[in-house]
């Protein structure tokens, strides 16, 4: 029994040392909550997740938690022969699997810090000791490009040689200029990059298609551009910084979400009129406001049924009402999320024809739609976002629809999306290749302009 108490004391000692070592190294791994280093299971999950091995971290975290429980059960049940033997066997199996998965994570840590495999010997002797040394020594610093190479499934050397798009594409004060370095979030102590290196300039009078598969960053980009969720970025709308002068520029941005957020028990005219009254400056007189409302109603073909109830209108009419409500402020930038959702081809084309007219009046109109090919002839530009090997949204192309088809070697927008989607999603899995290709194209164009 004295031996068993000694084993338990040794286990507690090892647990405390490993937790302290994780707490030390968690600063360099950018854990949001460093106290997680002392929580069984969660501490190992955070370690794996912070070095890009979330799945291994989850498995290892579960085994870490069960291993402690099995150790306690082994101690309690030693007096019962059969149960004690079973507990010892479970404890041994968990220990073996814990070593295997922990070793995978530790090897990733060595890669992150640029250390050799000889460190594994030290880890096998005392798994907490190398973590202490790496965490406390100032000469060991993480470099995530080392593990991104594996995540992307390629060496990455060619990509490193290419300048970021933010360096290749200059700002402009005419229209919309986007220079987004990155948009990150913190999840379970790890900083994740949702979107990075997006740079482009959209001139006025442009109808732009925003294209990309699920998780490519379309909504993230929109939220960053309109200032709803700020990123590490600089966004200029006709020379005005959206982030620094948000109060002055926010009224120049219109956004129509996918869902129709309007009352059904009021007339069309009152609905659009109320939106104008709420959103237009108080300096606008009633007569001016009524004129603006009527002009928007005429543009969108809503005048003939303006006294009818909103609840009685068709899907296409409802979308036009939502557009009219945002249009009353005369936005310089107009963004719409699936304005043709649930509509047939004829009605969809009517909606996009109206958006084409709105753009022609000097505005920039950006649209997300999942059925672009039926109206692609109406668009001036297409933005293609792709989710790379590290699950980060990247800019894979920006230009005319014709140039996009040439760049991707495809005949339709749907085929373009399939080329950048991962193989798990039924796509071709070429996102990394095409992102790098576009970066090289942007760099070449800058070099040609400089010469």
| Domains of the chain and CATH, by start | 2-143 (no CATH), 161-450 (3.40.50.300)
SS (H, E, C) 89-111: HHHHHHHHHHHHHHHHHHHHHHH
Cα-Cα end-to-end distance for the chain = 83
Q: Are 395 and 385 in contact (CB under 8 A)?
A: yes
Separation of alpha carbons 350 and 357, rounded Å: 11
Q: Are 104 and 56 in contact (CB under 8 A)?
A: yes
- Among the listed residues 107, 189, 196, 99, the one whose alpha carbon sits nearest the alpha carbon of residue 147: 107
Tens-digit pLDDT profile for the chain (451 aa)?
A: 444 555 456 667 888 898 999 999 999 988 888 888 898 888 888 888 888 787 777 877 777 766 554 454 454 445 444 444 554 555 566 667 677 778 888 888 998 888 988 899 988 888 889 999 999 998 898 876 666 545 444 434 434 457 788 787 888 889 999 999 999 987 655 678 899 999 999 999 999 999 998 889 999 999 999 988 899 999 999 999 999 999 888 888 999 887 767 777 788 888 888 888 888 888 888 899 889 998 888 888 888 887 888 888 888 888 888 888 888 888 999 999 888 877 787 888 888 999 999 999 999 999 999 889 999 999 999 999 999 988 899 999 999 999 999 999 999 999 999 999 988 888 999 999 999 999 988 888 765 554 3
Residues in a beta bridge with 252: none
- Among the listed residues 345, 339, 292, the one whose alpha carbon sits nearest the alpha carbon of residue 317: 339
Q: Are 415 and 407 in contact (CB under 8 A)?
A: no
Separation of alpha carbons 359 and 334, rounded Å: 9
């Amino acid at each position: 029994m004295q031996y068993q108490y000694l084993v338990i004391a040794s286990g507690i000692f090892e647990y405390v040392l490993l937790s302290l070592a994780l707490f030390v190294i968690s600063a360099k791994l950018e854990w949001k909550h460093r106290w997680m280093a002392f929580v069984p299971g969660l501490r190992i999950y955070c370690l794996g997740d912070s070095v890009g091995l979330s799945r291994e971290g989850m498995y290892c975290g579960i085994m870490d938690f069960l291993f402690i429980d099995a150790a306690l059960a082994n101690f309690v049940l030693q007096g019962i022969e059969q149960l004690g033997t079973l507990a010892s066997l479970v404890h041994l199996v968990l220990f073996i699997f814990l070593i295997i998965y922990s070793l995978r994570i530790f090897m990733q840590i060595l890669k992150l810090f640029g250390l050799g495999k000889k460190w594994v010997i030290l880890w096998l002797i005392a798994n907490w000791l190398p973590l202490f040394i790496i965490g406390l020594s100032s000469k060991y610093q993480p470099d995530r490009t080392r593990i991104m190479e594996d995540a992307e499934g390629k060496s990455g050397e060619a990509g490193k040689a290419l300048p970021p798009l933010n360096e290749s594409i200059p700002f402009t004060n005419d229209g919309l200029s986007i220079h987004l370095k990155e948009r990150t979030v913190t999840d379970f102590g790890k900083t994740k990059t949702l979107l990075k290196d997006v740079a482009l300039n959209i001139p006025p009078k442009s109808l732009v298609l925003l294209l990309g598969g699920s998780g490519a960053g379309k909504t993230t980009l929109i939220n960053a551009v309109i200032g709803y969720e700020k990123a590490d970025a600089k966004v200029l709308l006709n020379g005005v910084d959206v982030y620094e002068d948000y109060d002055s520029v926010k009224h120049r941005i219109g956004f129509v979400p996918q869902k129709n957020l309007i009352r059904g028990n009021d007339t069309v005219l009152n609905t659009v009129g109320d939106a104008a009254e709420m959103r237009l400056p108080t300096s606008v007189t009633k007569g001016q406001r009524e004129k603006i409302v009527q002009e928007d109603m005429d543009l969108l073909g809503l005048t003939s049924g303006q006294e009818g109830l909103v609840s009685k209108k068709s899907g296409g009419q409802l979308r036009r009402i939502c557009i009219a409500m945002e249009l009353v402020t005369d936005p310089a930038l107009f963004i719409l999320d699936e304005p043709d959702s649930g509509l047939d081809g004829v009605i969809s084309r009517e909606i996009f024809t109206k958006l084409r007219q709105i753009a022609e009046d000097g505005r920039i109109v950006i649209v997300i739609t999942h059925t672009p090919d039926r109206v692609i002839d109406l668009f001036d530009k297409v933005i293609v976002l792709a989710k790379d090997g590290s699950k980060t949204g990247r800019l894979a192309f920006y230009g005319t629809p014709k140039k996009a088809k040439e760049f991707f070697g495809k005949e339709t927008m749907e085929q373009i999306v399939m080329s950048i989607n991962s193989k798990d999603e039924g796509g071709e899995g070429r996102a990394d290749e095409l992102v790098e290709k576009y970066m090289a194209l942007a760099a070449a164009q800058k070099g040609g302009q400089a010469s």
